[in-house]
């Protein structure tokens, strides 16, 4: 008899299950989801990734790629050429993360103005009537 794991987590899994926390930590890191999304079109060299992403230093990109590789989301390919060439691409596991990243991005696009307004209110911006 084959047992299949359900794709649905128990309701309290996000509070107690370390695997759920690991997934949220992966997405919660500032650059992880951005780099995964930037690799969705296929293999890329670090310089091309930096250009596509914008606003990320070479050091932070390297750290992020190493972290994603460590988690099995990205594969590194080094080619014996002169000069040496390195490319990164999503693994099957990394590609499986594109759908949730896309869903979260759509949510952020729909609600970004509300979030910005709430932040301005909290910081005493133009919508703050109390003083």
Nearest to residue 39, comparing CAs of 115, 110, 109, 92?
A: 92
- Looking up tokens 């990243």 gives 101
- Does residue 69 lie in a domain region? yes
- Does residue 94 lie in a domain region? yes
Instruction: Find the CATH number of the domain harbouring 72.
Output: 1.10.10.10
- Does residue 99 lie in a domain region? yes
What would the pLDDT profile of 53-108 be if each residue is shown by its tens digit?
Answer: 999 999 999 999 999 999 999 999 999 988 889 999 999 999 999 999 999 999 99
- Does residue 24 lie in a domain region? yes
What single-letter DSSP state applies at residue 39? T
- Does residue 5 lie in a domain region? no
What whole-number distance in Å separates Cα of residue 47 and Cα of residue 29?
21
What whole-number distance in Å separates Cα of residue 35 and Cα of residue 50?
9
What whole-number distance in Å separates Cα of residue 88 and Cα of residue 61?
11
Indicate if the pLDDT at residue 131 is higher than 50.
no
- Does residue 127 lie in a domain region? no
Indicate if the pLDDT at residue 112 is higher than 90.
yes
Indicate if the pLDDT at residue 19 is higher than 70.
yes
Q: Say how many domains are in the chain.
A: 1
Of residues 9 and 109, the one with the higher pLDDT is 109
- What pLDDT does 70 receive? 96
Range of the structural domain that residue 110 is part of: 13-122
């Amino acid at each position: 008899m084959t047992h299949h794991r359900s794709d649905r987590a128990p309701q309290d899994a996000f509070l107690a299950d370390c695997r759920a926390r690991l997934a949220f930590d992966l997405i919660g890191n500032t650059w992880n989801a951005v780099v995964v999304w930037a690799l969705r079109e296929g293999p890329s060299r670090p310089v091309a990734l930096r250009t596509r992403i914008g606003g990320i230093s070479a050091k932070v990109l390297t750290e992020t790629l190493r972290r994603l590789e460590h988690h099995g989301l990205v594969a590194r390919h080094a080619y014996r050429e002169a000069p040496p060439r390195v490319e990164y691409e999503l693994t099957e596991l990394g590609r499986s993360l594109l759908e949730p990243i896309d869903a979260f991005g759509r949510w952020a696009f729909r609600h970004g103005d509300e979030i910005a307004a709430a932040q301005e209110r909290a910081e005493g911006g133009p919508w703050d009537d109390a003083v």
